[in-house]
Each structure stands twice: as structure tokens, then as C-alpha cells.
Amino acid sequence: MREIYLDNCATTRTDPDVAGVALKLMTTYYGNPSSLHKKGLEAQLLLEQARGKIASALGCEPQEIYFTSGGTEANNLAILGAFWAHHRRAKGVVGTQTEHSSVLGALRHLSQQGASVTLTPPSQDSCADPKSITDCIDENTLLVSCALVNSEVGGVSPIGEISSAVRAKNSRTLVHCDAVQAFGKLPVSVKKLGVDLLSVSGHKLHAPKGIGALYIRRGVRISPLMHAGEQQAAIRPGTESTPLACAFGTAVEKITGEMQQNFNKYSHFRELFLEKAQNIQGVCINSARKETPYICNVSVLGYRSETMLHFLAERGIYVSGGSACSKGRDSHVLTAIGLPRERIQSALRVSFCKDNTEQDIEDFFEALQQGMSQLARSKP
């Protein structure tokens, strides 16, 4: 049975060349990058090369990149670290209702610690609404956090416009961007976005799981979440995972060179996908208008997401019902954009990567129609 993997927003298959880099670091350049001998120096030089590759892709200085265990840690370090570094002067934090669970979880924690947290409603296409956000900004606003790309329906938020508008109202407000679903697929420039903090992750772009990074603009003060050694300026202490960091750097370098080619491919896939979806009675399109082309979200009315997911998986086709972090709960994103419960509970998210083909889409829809024919309709 041929495997068709269309859940690339959850994670991607590690590129074999990238995995080879990690293996070589584990078995040949295995020194601790903080050690003062030759093996440590070898590892340190390779670690800094990886940091430089990620900085180059983001348009910043290598000293502004801090490796983390992934996007969740990067988001938490940005949000919690910024709050605890500056909470004596301000306690207001603004986000949107459609942020990733790692952002919403950090904001909920801060609200329990005395922060004044405001979650603004999104526009109909899941994007952050600049007016809703700037209306909340006052002299007490410490931080604004917005995702560049929504992980469930693919809406692209105008982060540059939001950053400018926020600063016009309060020049001391920090802006954080969760770019985990955008990095490696869209051009991401921290200067063009005008952000102070930006999170990225490796396993969304064919690097291994367990590695991410946080951009912290030079001069921005962040309190660490862990207290140990002096690695990474004591912002994120602990022995760095040199194999994963170097694999991440290699993946970034590789996918950045392929970005335009991949974008064109995804755009073609999306047109094909939406054309086929529109021709099937009972299938509704949930994807955003201002979308990235690599995420398509549809609802198959009358069929619960998990029922259809299992039917497809039995045929080697892998999609999701939304963010992998939701663990089957109703999508907070689809709820926030006002979709009826029937559509929320029958939603499927399809997300492409560079390895997908037109035939994958053809096979997906063939299996989907088989499922609609064979499965008993279930009331969401």
C-alpha cells in the first residue's frame, strides 16, 4: 500500500541528508561545545555555523538567535520571558483567539500570575485583525503576540502592519511573532515584520523534532525560564544539542534555496485541491482567503473528523482534523472564526510538503469519496 502523507503542518519527514548531518555530529563531532579541548571547539564551530544559517534566513545577526527544544519552548520563552523581564513597568499582554496552543497556554499562565491578558477576535479568514489589536494598546501594554500563519486554515496575518500600528500607540510595547508554520515556506524577515521576538521550529521543515529557535532583537531584555550555566548568554542555558542544531541549519539552508519552487508547486496543488473539493456535494471549504498555499481545510458534512481520518489512514492516507496539539478537541480556530459546530466537527486539514505529488491529491479525493459512500453518516 502506497503511503500518502498530507499532515505536514503536524510534522514533516526528516530529510535523509539532514538526518545524515545529525548522525555525523553524534558520532564524529560529538564534543560538548562548551568544552575547551579540540572536540569541544569542533562542535562549537559547527554550532555557530548552524546559528549563522538560521540568522541569514531570518535577516538578523547570529547573536540574536537562541536555540530551543522547539516552537513551544520558543513561544514560552518569548512570552513568559518578556513578561517577567518587564512586568514592573507594564502588565498588559495582547494576543488573538486563534493562536497556537503553546501561545494560548503561556497567556493563560500569565493571567494567573497577575497579567492583564486580552484575546482579540480574528477576521473571518483567521488572520489577526490590526484594528482589534491596536484598539487594545495603551500605556500598560507590555507585549503583543501574533502568529504569521494560522496552523489550521492557513491565514496569513499582516504582522508588519500590526507592528507599526502597535508602536505608533506605544513605542515600548514588544511584538512577538510565532512564525513556526511560515518559516521555510514563506520569506520571513524580522526587519520587514518589525518584530522584537520570533519563534521557529525544525520539524516543520524536514529537520528533526526537538530543535527550534527564538530570535531576540539586540537590546531586548528577556528573563530566562531556566537557571543553570552560561550557554547562550544564560538566556537558554544547558548543553546545546549540536547534532539537532546543525541538522536544523542544514534543513533551513536547503529549503530556503527551494522556497520559490516549492511555493509555486504548493499553489498549483491548492488550485487542484480546491477545484476537486468544490465539485463534491457535502464538502465545504474552510481555508482562509489570505492563505498560504500549503494548507487546505475542508469539512465533510455529516461525517465526524475522526471517523473519516481512520478510514483514510486504513488506506495509507494521513491527514488531520486540525492542530496536532488539540488531541481531538473541537478546533478553537474554527470556533473563533464562527463556523457552525457541524463543520467544526467534520473538518479535515490537508497540508503539503515538497515531496507531495498531484497523484497524492487525486488519491486523497478518490478515498474521500469512497469514505462518504461507505461510512454511515454520523451526526456531529
Which are the catalytic amino acids?
Answer: 325
C-alpha cell read off for 293? 498555499
> Cell numbers of 267, please?
499553489
How far is 251 from 271, CA to CA, in rounded Å?
A: 27
Report d(CA 143, CA 95) in Å as an integer: 9
Q: How far apart (Å, rounded) are the C-alpha atoms in residues 118 and 116?
A: 7
215-251 burial string, b = 16+ CB within 10 Å, else e?
Answer: bbbeebebebeeeeeebbeebbbeebbbbbbbbbbbb
Other CB atoms closer than 10 Å to residue 101's CB: what's the count?
A: 18
Residue 112 CA to residue 24 CA, distance in Å, equals: 45
SS3 of 306-363: the string is HHHHHHHHCCCEECECCCHHHCCCCCHHHHHCCCCHHHHCCEEEEECCCCCCHHHHHH
Distance between CA atoms of 211 and 245, rounded to whole angstroms? 6
Category of 364 on φ-ψ map: left (φ > 0), alpha (ψ -120 to 50) or beta: alpha
Do residues 110 and 93 touch, judged by C-beta distance below 8 A?
A: yes
Rounded distance between C-alpha atoms, residue 142 and residue 90, angstroms: 5
CA distance 299 to 342: 8
Alpha carbon 49 to its chain's center: 24
DSSP codes of every residue in 89-150: T--EEEEETTS-HHHHHHHHHHHHTT-EEEEEPP-TTS---HHHHHTT--TTEEEEEEESB-
Extract the C-alpha cell encoding 86. 518587564
Nearest to 54 by CA among 256, 231, 252: 252
